[in-house]
Structure 1
Amino acid sequence: MVEIRKARLGEAEALRSLYVEAAEWIRETKGYNQWQEASFTEAYIEQFLRTRDVFVAELGGRVVGCFSVECEEELFWGERFHRDAGYVHRLVVSRKHQGLDIGGQMLAWAAGFIRSQGKSWLRLDCMADNPPLNRFYERQGLTFVGRVDVDVWRANLYEKRVNS
């Protein structure tokens, strides 16, 4: 069973490995230049851990996934931004653990966390030009609400109500 918990600063290298592995796999097998391997330095990951609410999925004592939940997200959401939402970022699952619904479990956990913070919506953005990723989020019950272009990045925006 997957356990989801707050990430620890000492796990920076494990998280860096997850992101580099995912970036390489996406580029090599899908042809999408979604994430740059070189941007996931240990210093970047440590800063990520210090400044954000970062959570890991652990299976059998090993970190197999990661994501963050943030309360601020105006870059992609612009005028659509509102404080009654938690924004999921940088969701990643180890390639060795694909097919176990770890991503779905992390999103379900994030929805509960966001609800526990008194917010009504889980929101996220993802690469518009990555159809499998967009289908994954739709299968998880998120609704497409728009598309934005930020610099060279085209993102689809998704949301899901987490309270009734």
Structure 2
Amino acid sequence: MSGKIELHQAESKDGALINSILVQTVQWLQSRGSTQWSGILEGKDNHNTSEAIERGEVFYVTIEHQPVGMFILWDQQSEWDAALWKENPTTDYSYLHRLTIVREFAGQGVSELLLKEAKACAKAMGKKAVRLDCIADNPHLNKLYQHAGFSYKGQAKEIEADGHKTNFNLYQFDIN
């Protein structure tokens, strides 16, 4: 990827852009046989993205002013995260969700770029680490996070998501 890279903290006016990136991703996932995040197409958003925008927790990246992806970086643990991580809520960590790329930029290193930006945001917020979860049986995503320096921290088993039970791998990137 070349060109001017900019990180933007999403604002209310960016809601349609963020939603379009999410919808495009869900449609792509469905074309591959996945039901992941399928509620988005029905207007269900268990991550309350619009509220996360208002809290300043949604970010998107542009290259040469063209949006290439987005992510949500929660400042504190949600109910979902608490259920997976089995810990009392703490503000020591950022929780990364909905890492999503614009499909025309697939295979060009955008995911790695988004992860780098998420780590930098968490560091600027004074967090100890960035945590995330991903579906355990998705080898591509698991490799992506491992190659980006995230350490495997365990597995949450038989978690209800998108209408069925699945296992989630837990990853953490410690900020030095």
Q: Bin the TM-score by the shorter chain.
A: 0.7 to 0.9
Counterpart of 2:50 in structure 1 is 46
Match of 1:103 in 2: 111
Task: Name the TM-score, length of structure 2 as normaliser.
Answer: 0.81
1:105 is paired with a residue whose SS is helix
Preserved CA contact (<8 Å) 2:11 2:56? no
1:1-164 mapped onto 2 (5 Å cutoff): 1-29=4-32, 31-36=33-38, 37-40=40-43, 45-73=49-77, 74-79=82-87, 82-149=90-157, 150-151=159-160, 152-163=165-176
- Partner letter of residue 59 of structure 2? F
Work out whether residues 4 and 109 of structure 1, in 8 Å CA contact, stay in contact via their aligned partners in 2: yes
Distance 2:27 2:8 in 1: 26
| 3-state SS of 2:29 partner | helix
8 Å contact from structure 2 (residues 72, 97) kept in 1: yes
Give the C-alpha shift of residue 50 in structure 1. 1.9
User: Contact 2:49 / 2:58 at 8 angstroms: preserved in 1?
Assistant: no
Aligned to 1:129, the other structure's residue is in SS state coil
Q: In 2 relative to 1, CA 46–80 (structure 1 residues): closer, same or farther, beyond 3 Å?
A: closer
Rounded to whole Å, the distance in 2 between the matches of 1:122 and 1:146 is 15
- Listed one character per residue, the Cα deviations across residues 105-128 of structure 1 (whole Å, up to 9, x for unaligned) are 121121122112221211111122
Aligned partner of residue 141 in structure 1, secondary structure? coil
User: For residue 6 of structure 2, what is the amino acid of its counterpart?
Assistant: E
**Equivalent AA in structure 1 for residue 54 of structure 2:** R
- Contact 2:11-2:54 within 8 A present in 1 as well: no
Go from structure 1 to structure 2 and tell me whether the alpha carbon gap of 1:27 and 1:63 turns closer, same or farther (over 3 Å shift): same
Distance 1:22 1:144 in 2: 25
Quick one: distance in 1 between partners of 2:89 and 2:106? 32
Q: Deviations over 1:32-74 (max 9, x none)?
A: 22111424569x5433322451111112222221111113222
> How well do the aligned residues superpose, as a CA RMSD in angstroms?
2.1
SS across alignment from 2:96: strand
- Aligned amino acid, residue 12 of structure 2: L
Specify every segment of 5 or more residues in structure 1 that has no aligned partner in the other structure, as ranges: none
